[in-house]
């Protein structure tokens, strides 16, 4: 059996062209795809359609779902997003996988970090080279290798490259859930958790909230008692939120906007905060308790309160099925001479959303690199072919029935 496995691994590695992968990553990195840069995202989406058209199946661009946010004045407005790329291969197959990645980065069109620099012969610095245009190349070439070698058999799969992962996937969360239905397993191509290739294991969740306070203005000297201070109400809520922290949930009041001249009782404020629940119970408990806390603040300060937002990514525990997928990745790594480890993390990604659909997922199958979300972001170039071979072998093993 080991001899046959080695032959399969060798055949898959033979199909992977590291030079082509690198060129694609460099080309894609040169396209600015900050989440709000719709022109850049459209250019990137077109490039991805061309690249993924080399696989069997049908490629399409899917319009984003409607997403709203709250401005500094407390008004709700629609936030535009780019289209998402979807590829469906052998859609009638009984056994199907899901592969996901994102085309957006955290660097807007006017950010200073736009170019690429070689740090040494094997390390490339550039926007999105690790997170996650390198990961998209890994996914694409793993699938190309599996298809070309015949190792994928009759296995079907969907590919989703969304345009809004870096801001919470609010415009693609329904599409993720739709594509996750009925899947045997999923692989997501965020960069490895550490430069040595360590995978992210269990993850906490996250949620973002905007709370708008409507008070009543008054003169701060003549009749302050007739006013209703929205800033004071917001400050009260901040303290109450910090009092809601538990061992399995942290709460970060992040931004308070509002107020007017010093001699005016402020009648308006917007508080924005983030939560990080480590468990579903903590997530549900906070959401339930927040209703009572907001009601208490509203009554205490005689202000109006409007809530916007909520949990965007549920916590991602690792159950028995998910652990079986991790174990398979580790076994395939050993066959390729790669040491695969994992560790839990407080970070979140689309893997959280997929796991919430009951689908086992390993969500850091992308490149080795580091310093993501900063101008120091780097890709360890040899990991392109290395991680493509790992994914291709995992896919072949699943096609061969080694994951139930």
Report pLDDT for 1: 40
Question: What CATH number does the domain containing 167 carry?
Answer: 3.40.630.10
Residue 234 backbone dihedrals phi, psi, to 5 degrees: -65, -40
- Residues 337, 195, single domain; the answer is yes
Which structural domain range is residue 196 located in?
2-202+318-399
Q: Is the bond preceding 299 in cis, omega lying within 30 degrees of 0?
A: no
Residue at 248 is within a domain:
yes
Buried-state track 150-162, b at ≥16 Cβ within 10 A, e below 16 = ebbeebbbbbbbb
Alpha-carbon distance of 230 to 213, in angstroms, equals 6
As a 3-state breakdown, the chain gives helix, strand, coil percent values, each rounded to 5, of: 35, 25, 35
pLDDT in tens, 14-26: 999 999 999 999 9
CA atoms within 13 A on the CB side of 251: 21
Give me the residues paired with residue 222 across strands: none
Per-residue confidence (pLDDT) for residue 133, from 0 to 100: 98
Task: Return the axis-axis angle of helices 133-149 and 2-14, rounded to nearest 10°.
Answer: 120
Domain count, the chain: 2
Helix (H) or strand (E) holding 380: strand 378-380
269 and 337 inside one domain? no
Summarised one tens digit per residue, pLDDT across range 41-74 is 999 999 999 999 999 999 999 999 999 999 999 9
37: in domain: yes
Q: How many Å apart are CA 186 and CA 188, to the nearest integer? A: 7
Judge whether 89 and 152 are in contact, CB under 8 Å. Answer: no
State the Cα–Cα distance between residues 383 and 367, nearest whole angstrom. Answer: 6
* pLDDT tens-place string over residues 177-223: 999 999 999 999 999 999 999 999 999 999 999 999 999 999 999 99
Beta bridge partners of 4: none
Distance of alpha carbon 300 from alpha carbon 302, whole angstroms: 6
Whether residues 197 and 225 share a domain: the answer is no
Confidence of residue 276 (pLDDT cuts 50, 70, 90): very high
pLDDT at site 5: 58
The token pair at 83 is 């289209």
Q: Are residues 348 and 286 in the same domain?
A: no
Which residues neighbour 382 within 8 Å (Cβ) at sequence distance 6 or greater?
18, 122
DSSP-derived secondary structure letter, 264: B
Residues β-bridged to residue 189? 364
Domain end, chosen from 267, 285, 313, is at 313
Q: Cα(194)–Cα(141) distance, rounded to whole angstroms?
A: 22
Mean pLDDT, residues 100-119? 98
Tell whether 404 is covered by a domain.
no
The answer to whether residue 130 is domain-embedded is yes
143 plus 11 within the same structural domain: yes
Same domain for 23 and 66? yes
Residues 309 and 337 in one domain: no
Both 79 and 103 in a single domain?
yes
Query: 266 with 244, same domain?
Result: yes
Residue 138 lies in a domain: yes
Indicate whether 169 and 110 sit together in one domain: yes
DSSP 147-177: HHHTTTTT-EEEEEEES-GGGTSTTTHHHHH
CATH code, 296? 3.30.70.360
Residues 6+ apart with CB under 8 A from 298: 233, 304, 305
Domain co-membership, 16 together with 91? yes
Q: Are 138 and 367 in contact (CB under 8 A)?
A: yes
Query: Do 362 and 326 touch, CB atoms closer than 8 A?
Result: yes
In a shared domain, residues 240 and 275 = yes
CA atoms within 13 A on the CB side of 245: 12
The reported pLDDT for the residue numbered 194 is 96
Q: What is the mean pLDDT of residues 80-89?
A: 98
* Structure confidence by residue, pLDDT tens digits, 246-268: 999 999 999 999 998 999 999 99
Task: Give backbone dihedrals phi and psi of 118, rounded to 5 degrees, phi first.
Answer: -80, 120
| The two structure tokens encoding residue 393 | 């072998």
Question: Would you state the structure tokens that stand for residue 384, as one six-digit string?
Answer: 């392109």
Q: Which of 250, 280, 313 is the last residue before a domain boundary?
A: 313
Residue 342 within any structural domain of the chain: yes
Report the candidate in 89, 99, 86 with the shortest Cα–Cα distance to residue 55. Answer: 89
Using 50, 70 and 90 to split pLDDT, how confident is the model at 4? low
DSSP-derived letter for residue 402 is: -
**What span, in angstroms and rounded, lies between the C-alpha atoms of 82 and 127?**
18
| 268's tokens | 């308006």
| pLDDT given at position 6 | 75
Decide which of 259, 288, 313 is a domain's last residue: 313
């Amino acid at each position: 059996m080991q001899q046959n496995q080695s032959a399969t691994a060798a055949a898959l590695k033979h199909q992977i062209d590291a030079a082509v992968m690198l060129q694609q990553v460099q080309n894609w990195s040169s396209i600015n795809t900050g989440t709000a840069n719709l022109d850049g995202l459209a250019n990137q989406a077109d490039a991805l359609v061309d690249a993924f058209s080399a696989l069997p199946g049908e490629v399409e661009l899917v319009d984003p779902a409607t997403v709203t946010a709250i401005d500094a004045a407390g008004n709700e407005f629609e936030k535009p997003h780019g289209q998402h790329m979807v590829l469906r291969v052998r859609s009638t197959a009984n056994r199907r996988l899901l592969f996901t990645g994102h085309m957006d980065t955290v660097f807007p069109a006017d950010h200073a970090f736009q170019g690429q620099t070689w740090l040494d012969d094997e390390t490339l610095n550039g926007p999105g080279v690790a997170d996650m245009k390198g990961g998209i190349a890994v996914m694409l070439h793993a699938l190309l290798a599996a298809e070309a070698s015949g190792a994928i058999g009759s296995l079907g799969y969907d590919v989703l490259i969304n345009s809004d992962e870096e801001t919470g996937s609010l415009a693609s969360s329904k599409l993720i859930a739709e594509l996750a239905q009925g899947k045997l397993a999923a692989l997501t191509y965020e960069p490895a958790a550490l430069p040595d290739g360590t995978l992210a294991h269990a993850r906490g969740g996250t949620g973002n909230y905007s709370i708008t306070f409507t008070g009543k203005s008054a003169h701060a000297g003549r009749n302050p008692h007739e006013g209703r201070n929205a800033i004071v109400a917001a400050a009260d809520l901040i303290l109450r939120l910090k009092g809601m922290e538990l061992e399995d949930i942290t709460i970060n009041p992040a931004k308070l906007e509002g107020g007017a001249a010093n001699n005016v009782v402020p009648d308006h404020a917007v508080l924005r905060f983030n939560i990080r629940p480590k468990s579903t119970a903590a997530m549900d408990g906070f959401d339930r308790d927040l209703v009572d806390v907001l009601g208490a603040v509203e009554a205490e300060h005689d202000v109006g309160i409007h809530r916007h937002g909520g949990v965007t990514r549920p916590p991602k525990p690792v159950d028995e099925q998910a652990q079986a997928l991790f174990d398979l990745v580790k076994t395939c790594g050993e066959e390729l001479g790669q040491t695969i480890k994992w560790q839990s993390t407080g970070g979140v990604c689309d893997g959280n959303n997929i796991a919430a659909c009951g689908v086992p997922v390993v969500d850091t199958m992308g490149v080795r690199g580091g310093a993501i979300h900063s101008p120091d972001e780097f890709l360890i170039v040899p990991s392109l072919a290395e991680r493509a071979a790992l994914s291709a072998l995992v896919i072949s093993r699943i096609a061969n029935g080694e994951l139930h």
